Structure 1
């Protein structure tokens, strides 16, 4: 079949309600499933969609036997709807394809317009504006809202939202650069409001406000960002924000550094002066430079030296990253961005585009495809960004300039060997182990022979020099000669250099005792290293005799493991050594043993975190959870890869406290993923997993999904914990819906299954909102009496504040709310901080401190918007509307109340009431517009 698009015009629009036009005439496609099939084919953008994928999308849980026939029928009827354009819908082997030109699908057209605008904006920002305005106009309202319950379409809806933010961000940047900042103030304000901890959005808004002569407001944005980061993440903003603040305060505008390179290593770089100078020259002219060479040749060290004094350098270190999907998050961490909602890579690109800068991407070889994808996005989006990558092979990207790093020069047969870089490196590193290493010509000759056999590879030389702690120079030389496979009598060249390094590592490995070798091998699966306690557990689990600390110290002394002294001492491996150790695990036939041990460690860690979160040491457990998240991610992926449902379920159920009270969206996603796995059916912990998934769905505002999961889990529950974990989310869903008797029923049922105090608090709130203040006080007292952990005490204090507030004691309520916030913040329970803050603001307003309340609303609205918790955000906006109405701003109050009443994920509007859709005329405002209106109303009131 011809690949060309037929001549009959066909247009499909998905950036709003689904719309189809054939030869300029609108075509009605009836039926939600038929419309879903058409939407899925259009969203594939010319790719074939398998029939099985369509079946899974339309019947995700229990497809009928006739599902494939039903898909075929829908396709046949779609062809009838398309009429003269029916041949656009093709049947391919195993599936279907809808052929559309880029201009015939609004989504593809938007991408093309954005790409063209980016190419033009670097040299002609004003000329890029028309295309960006056209792209913005392609969005006609909520994207495919009637089809959002189809999972693949829901994913595409999020992708369309990210693209919309990307278009808007590029439009703001281009308008500011073109001197037309006044046109995009509202757009920049809305983007910042949607994600107020996104530095890129804050910087864009600051630049926009500064450009329209509103420097005081621009500086206020920076101050608020700094305060929110400190309060909610404990972090400071990057140097870019501080520098921009200084520039604006001085009356100008400009771009600033995004991040700084990690600290330089303590050792001196030897023998690379020429390479450093050459790289400086190349980087002055090229935007993508890849430093290529064998493992251990010193690529990372050279890159650090080259970039050490450069301004605005970000270091993305990929050695601990094993999951390709984690690459954007790793970049966000390098930029010190805390992105918990929205497109992570888009946020990173916005920060990197804020000023000319350098990005070091180190150790790319194990993630070549995702690194290519990452840089293919970043380089066009950030025209003033220069990238220096290190890899064992080129990335294979257009415009890439490859610099191959050779081993250090080797000594010849004459002259002073100590002046040759490879010998000088050995001598310098050896002197750190033992003084007077080579004191004679004969000793220098031995050193010269050693470095020749090591092929001048710096890592191999350093490993060999470290062995002088146990051997004389002669002993070292003799054992090196016998241990290394030098691939024949001659010095190896080309690709054999990697095998020479591998032999050097293996030689150091063989010098370890069998017990030390076992410990070395089994440290490797910990992708982000391990602390002393975990290392001691590992040694004990391996059955190693003696003090495990001694074996660990031996590995550190032998340079096989690196000790890093952070908050707690942590032990990590160089990636080359870790890869070697993983190979040794396979060679020893220990893959299953290693996987089982890693899963047991993860389950044990999660259980320890669970116990810690439930006690007085909650803050320590919270720190452990956040510190070990990369290793927990590796455990989770290992469990899913091996079909280890037991371990996956144990981890998810143990981390319920993280799902409920901490904005760690990744863990919430684990719970929902596992709950949807058919392999969970009949599992003893199925109820606990469903309860955790219900809590996760509630946190993202999907009350229907949360209720379904809780109901499903409760039907499978066989123990108290399983029943408790389902009753709790069911109770909060009922509370949000205004079904107060139902909320009390499930909350009190939960109290009979567990000693935890939280459900008493839910029951107290339900009774309070139903008008039973006396009963609420009794239940609130029960919550406080049972509370053990800081978060439980914080929850009880919040409930007490709600009761006092509702009964007219705002001053007492303020005290209770502030206690709740302090306890929750100290425990890391960020969600509870937000909820208690909303209560506090109502009390503050009732006490007459209106401006203070409005400032607080500004912060908490941005917090809930950042975390995606719209159920609580709608409640907050309703409270704000009440306050605005009292201050005389009826228009803004009416808009916010109507938007909340029309929102499907808003909680009940009052005691016994349910949310009622708005009956007002016209298209309801988007959520971004609602946020912008709320923040604008606050700003107009307090300045």
Structure 2
């Protein structure tokens, strides 16, 4: 096959079969660049004309464009058929390896999905840039904009490369890379952060701090602004000798962010327990350091997974939170079962942190996991034991306190912790003599509670040590009788004392941020401050809350501000005491509705990946807002959340979010709501996806009878079409989808489903007509565009044009991955494997089946998995491997959740194997054939 190579990350270059090809003329070169930059998508002729002649195309412009395209086909030589005319435009078909920018994106994605090879992937990606990007096309606006986007892509690659290099200790050239990025844009704070982290990682803390100071001065001189609180936190960490580095996913951290004092004996004892017991629970009061100890054990174990439950307030969300911690995209079915299937394959330590507010659910979850995963060990943290049979509680005591003689006081863990935190708050703090005795007195009065000690020591940024001790005394006396437990009373006193020292406006901001269970980003915090009418700079107030240890900041793709759960609970209490709880809850609901409405609207544009990222990032807070809306019977807000999230959740397999519609349809108040039809249609779509087709049709018809507007009719007609598809009633599918299209407020994939129904019915002409109508809806959002590519692949597959179908499937997969549409990735992957198998490309088909089987197994989508296993059985028969084929068919035939087979299978005698055994049979067969 003729190979083509187009390079856009520098001066435009074309090669065919490895030989450079000269493309003369700026306009012809621009056409090539525009077609390549579209990455396989159709570029309409009008768009090319506007790009080539920005002012006004000449009368001969269209003929000139056709001439340029024709000559480009000549330059492509034997690959000229790759440049095709279609749909009023042109498309250049390129494989990922044939376009440097596609390679760069792929390597960046792989780096984000792995740890071991991330640096190598990113170095390979960065090497693809060869100089100024598309500089010759400055007079062609679309290409000038593309060049800017590719420069941003390069920044993303380099920034992640620096971060990954620091985490992995591969520090060659890391300072030069970061410094070069800063030189390109001296006012860009992320570039400053990179340089500071790189210098600190290489041991040059003084220069790192100097770079930060220079940036503060430069920013103030040129813009009058201050840096974000994130930079201040990084400076403090560098000054304390720490390396602040983000940890991807929910894996255990590679190293502790701060020293862990006085826990060596407990850590050793817990490690012994974990070697002998399957469930160990670290118990103790809030603030004693349970989470820190658990994370350190996870780090030492290697490969552990961490499930943080502090942001989870709804018991039903625990399985979904676990799936997120395991990096699973659960499509349908038993979410916890899918998690167990993953955890049951290897020996794993699972840390379940902050269980006390969800004890019943955690107890049931842990019991099921331990029962089904023989290699699993669970380490939990809670204020009380879980109550699971076989559980081994281990109570974590406060830190050891200094004795009355003050001998070796500085080495006592409670004092050492205070001194470490104080040195970060006040660089150079090194007490001796009477001051050290005063420190010993302070930590004794705090009963050695780590959180209380850190909060108290943090106040040395603004207080002298004697003043600190005096104010602490008064706060403890004031709050001494609030609870019965002395240690918890002391901790609460310290928290409230630290809170009382804040300015009034910072107190208000702190308590109103407490309703966000998973923290906020800086823009959200600023919006809350503005809504409260605070007069000062919100960023400065947030930075001070971080300084005062009332809020913590973490760094990943952007700074995130969270509260320890003890502090968040205190903030919620303060809201109630101030009579502001209702106002704060109102604001959380407004924030959720506004975010969801924005995400819904943005998902209909080319910024859909931004909406996808925001939705996934804020899901814990949205979950809390949903539960709040239901508790308060805020029906309008609940309806908005369900309806606006419908399309996003369906394309992204967000089972939990789809389930909200099922909950809402049972609300008697919904009957009188003007959007009742839309909610019923949404719930009908969820029932269809789960396989409950009768309920889907019933809900959709009920909704259609109640529909009073176009939106309600669209939802219900769309759901009716899907229910008809499950029955093979293809004519009904087309009828309902056409009717739904008349009520659609924006481009959607409905006509694509109609095209599929026509293709499956054997009417390829009608299928192509409906697909053309789908494409003609206008500029399509990325997911709908990817779905359209999938539909085109299915049509070509039905027509026996396997090579064309494969191109469309690959385009669909690439586009859907970019937009986060996991559903489209799954169905297009199935189509891709079928054409490769039919074409006799057995090795490719087997590799594809291996990936799809693992994908659907991890997602818990057994409906699709049974279909895949049946198809695999057919391929195994063609290869003469009869025994596993028969076993897989028998398992599918007797599985209650498997769709009916297209043709009868040959059953073996006796009971069929179950899910796990079927998976093992498939995996073994695939391994045997691929490794042969």
Under a length normalisation based on structure 2, what TM-score does the superposition of the two structures give?
0.65
Matched residues in 1 for 2:789 and 2:769: separation?
A: 14
Asked if 1:298 corresponds to 2:289, the answer is yes
Asked if 1:538 corresponds to 2:535, the answer is no
The 8 Å contact of residues 736 and 908 in structure 1, kept in 2 or not, is answered as no
| 2:698 corresponds to | 708
Q: Please state whether the residue corresponding to 1:792 is helix, strand or coil.
A: helix
Q: Please state whether the residue corresponding to 2:549 is helix, strand or coil.
A: coil
Counterpart among 753, 771, 781 of residue 772 in structure 2: 781
Q: Kindly state the Cα deviation for residue 508 of structure 1 after the two structures are TM-superposed.
A: 0.9
Deviations 1:632-659 (A, max 9, x none): 2222222222222222221111111233
Deviations 1:862-913 (A, max 9, x none): 645665666666766776687678778999999999999999988899xxxx
Q: Is the alpha carbon distance of 1:903 and 1:509 closer, same or farther for their aligned partners in structure 2, counting shifts above 3 Å? A: closer
Deviations 1:724-761 (A, max 9, x none): 12222222332343323322221111221123141222
The 8 Å contact of residues 410 and 456 in structure 1, kept in 2 or not, is answered as no
Matched residues in 2 for 1:835 and 1:232: separation?
A: 21
Deviations 1:338-378 (A, max 9, x none): 55566555665676666666554433333334444445455
Q: Kindly state the Cα deviation for residue 277 of structure 1 after the two structures are TM-superposed.
A: 5.2
| 1:730 corresponds to | 720
Pairing of 1:208-219 with structure 2 (within 5 A): none
Matched residues in 2 for 1:494 and 1:238: separation?
A: 50
| 2:31 corresponds to | none
The 8 Å contact of residues 563 and 569 in structure 1, kept in 2 or not, is answered as yes
Pairing of 1:629-648 with structure 2 (within 5 A): 629-648=619-638
Asked if 1:485 corresponds to 2:452, the answer is no
Matched residues in 1 for 2:673 and 2:311: separation?
A: 33
The 8 Å contact of residues 516 and 551 in structure 1, kept in 2 or not, is answered as yes
Q: Kindly state the Cα deviation for residue 391 of structure 1 after the two structures are TM-superposed.
A: 3.3
Pairing of 1:332-351 with structure 2 (within 5 A): 332-336=323-327
Matched residues in 1 for 2:900 and 2:275: separation?
A: 60
The 8 Å contact of residues 352 and 379 in structure 2, kept in 1 or not, is answered as yes
Pairing of 1:524-923 with structure 2 (within 5 A): 524-754=514-744, 755-786=746-777, 787-857=779-849, 859-860=851-852, 863-864=855-856, 867=859
Q: Is the alpha carbon distance of 1:278 and 1:930 closer, same or farther for their aligned partners in structure 2, counting shifts above 3 Å? A: closer
The 8 Å contact of residues 899 and 918 in structure 1, kept in 2 or not, is answered as no
Q: Is the alpha carbon distance of 1:762 and 1:504 closer, same or farther for their aligned partners in structure 2, counting shifts above 3 Å? A: same
| RMSD of aligned Cα (Å) | 4.3
| Mean CA deviation greater in 301-310 or 933-942 | 933-942
For structure 2, which runs of at least 5 residues remain unmatched after alignment?
1-107, 118-248
Q: Is the alpha carbon distance of 1:931 and 1:723 closer, same or farther for their aligned partners in structure 2, counting shifts above 3 Å? A: farther
| 1:464 corresponds to | 456
Matched residues in 2 for 1:887 and 1:357: separation?
A: 36
Matched residues in 2 for 1:497 and 1:898: separation?
A: 61
Counterpart among 363, 379, 397 of residue 354 in structure 2: 363
The 8 Å contact of residues 602 and 635 in structure 1, kept in 2 or not, is answered as yes
The 8 Å contact of residues 658 and 667 in structure 1, kept in 2 or not, is answered as no
Q: Kindly state the Cα deviation for residue 561 of structure 1 after the two structures are TM-superposed.
A: 0.6
Q: Is the alpha carbon distance of 1:370 and 1:941 closer, same or farther for their aligned partners in structure 2, counting shifts above 3 Å? A: closer
Deviations 1:438-483 (A, max 9, x none): 5564433443443343333222121111112222334333333333
Q: Is the alpha carbon distance of 1:714 and 1:889 closer, same or farther for their aligned partners in structure 2, counting shifts above 3 Å? A: farther
Asked if 1:506 corresponds to 2:496, the answer is yes
| Mean CA deviation greater in 921-930 or 705-714 | 921-930
Q: Kindly state the Cα deviation for residue 762 of structure 1 after the two structures are TM-superposed.
A: 2.4
Matched residues in 1 for 2:451 and 2:295: separation?
A: 16
Q: Kindly state the Cα deviation for residue 512 of structure 1 after the two structures are TM-superposed.
A: 1.5
Q: Kindly state the Cα deviation for residue 533 of structure 1 after the two structures are TM-superposed.
A: 2.5
Matched residues in 2 for 1:475 and 1:625: separation?
A: 46
Aligned residue pairs, count: 690
Q: Please state whether the residue corresponding to 1:564 is helix, strand or coil.
A: strand
| 1:185 corresponds to | none
Counterpart among 298, 303, 312 of residue 321 in structure 1: 312
Q: Please state whether the residue corresponding to 2:560 is helix, strand or coil.
A: strand
Matched residues in 2 for 1:924 and 1:272: separation?
A: 54
The 8 Å contact of residues 264 and 304 in structure 1, kept in 2 or not, is answered as no
Deviations 1:10-54 (A, max 9, x none): xxxxxxxxxxxxxxxxxxxxxxxxxxxxxxxxxxxxxxxxxxxxx
Q: Please state whether the residue corresponding to 1:485 is helix, strand or coil.
A: helix
The 8 Å contact of residues 700 and 869 in structure 1, kept in 2 or not, is answered as no
Asked if 1:427 corresponds to 2:419, the answer is yes
The 8 Å contact of residues 830 and 852 in structure 2, kept in 1 or not, is answered as yes
The 8 Å contact of residues 738 and 908 in structure 1, kept in 2 or not, is answered as no
Matched residues in 2 for 1:543 and 1:792: separation?
A: 42
Q: Please state whether the residue corresponding to 1:570 is helix, strand or coil.
A: strand
Pairing of 1:237-276 with structure 2 (within 5 A): 261-276=252-267
Matched residues in 1 for 2:376 and 2:846: separation?
A: 39
Q: Is the alpha carbon distance of 1:375 and 1:876 closer, same or farther for their aligned partners in structure 2, counting shifts above 3 Å? A: closer
Matched residues in 2 for 1:355 and 1:882: separation?
A: 30
Q: Is the alpha carbon distance of 1:841 and 1:386 closer, same or farther for their aligned partners in structure 2, counting shifts above 3 Å? A: closer
Q: Please state whether the residue corresponding to 2:546 is helix, strand or coil.
A: helix
Q: Please state whether the residue corresponding to 2:818 is helix, strand or coil.
A: helix
Matched residues in 2 for 1:919 and 1:304: separation?
A: 52
The 8 Å contact of residues 486 and 500 in structure 1, kept in 2 or not, is answered as no
| 1:408 corresponds to | 400
The 8 Å contact of residues 755 and 770 in structure 2, kept in 1 or not, is answered as yes
| Mean CA deviation greater in 610-619 or 451-460 | 451-460
Matched residues in 2 for 1:283 and 1:845: separation?
A: 47
Q: Is the alpha carbon distance of 1:238 and 1:328 closer, same or farther for their aligned partners in structure 2, counting shifts above 3 Å? A: farther
Q: Is the alpha carbon distance of 1:231 and 1:920 closer, same or farther for their aligned partners in structure 2, counting shifts above 3 Å? A: farther
Q: Kindly state the Cα deviation for residue 668 of structure 1 after the two structures are TM-superposed.
A: 2.1
Q: Kindly state the Cα deviation for residue 559 of structure 1 after the two structures are TM-superposed.
A: 0.9
For structure 1, which runs of at least 5 residues remain unmatched after alignment?
1-229, 240-257, 910-914
The 8 Å contact of residues 317 and 656 in structure 2, kept in 1 or not, is answered as no
| 2:383 corresponds to | 392
| Mean CA deviation greater in 303-312 or 508-517 | 303-312
Q: Is the alpha carbon distance of 1:412 and 1:941 closer, same or farther for their aligned partners in structure 2, counting shifts above 3 Å? A: closer
Under a length normalisation based on structure 1, what TM-score does the superposition of the two structures give?
0.64
Q: Please state whether the residue corresponding to 2:300 is helix, strand or coil.
A: coil
Deviations 1:517-538 (A, max 9, x none): 1211122222222222322222
| Mean CA deviation greater in 349-358 or 557-566 | 349-358
The 8 Å contact of residues 480 and 493 in structure 2, kept in 1 or not, is answered as no
Q: Please state whether the residue corresponding to 1:821 is helix, strand or coil.
A: helix
Q: Please state whether the residue corresponding to 2:448 is helix, strand or coil.
A: coil
Matched residues in 1 for 2:445 and 2:883: separation?
A: 81
Matched residues in 1 for 2:410 and 2:921: separation?
A: 72
Q: Is the alpha carbon distance of 1:908 and 1:686 closer, same or farther for their aligned partners in structure 2, counting shifts above 3 Å? A: farther
The 8 Å contact of residues 693 and 709 in structure 1, kept in 2 or not, is answered as yes
Q: Please state whether the residue corresponding to 1:530 is helix, strand or coil.
A: coil
Q: Please state whether the residue corresponding to 1:309 is helix, strand or coil.
A: helix
| 2:506 corresponds to | 516
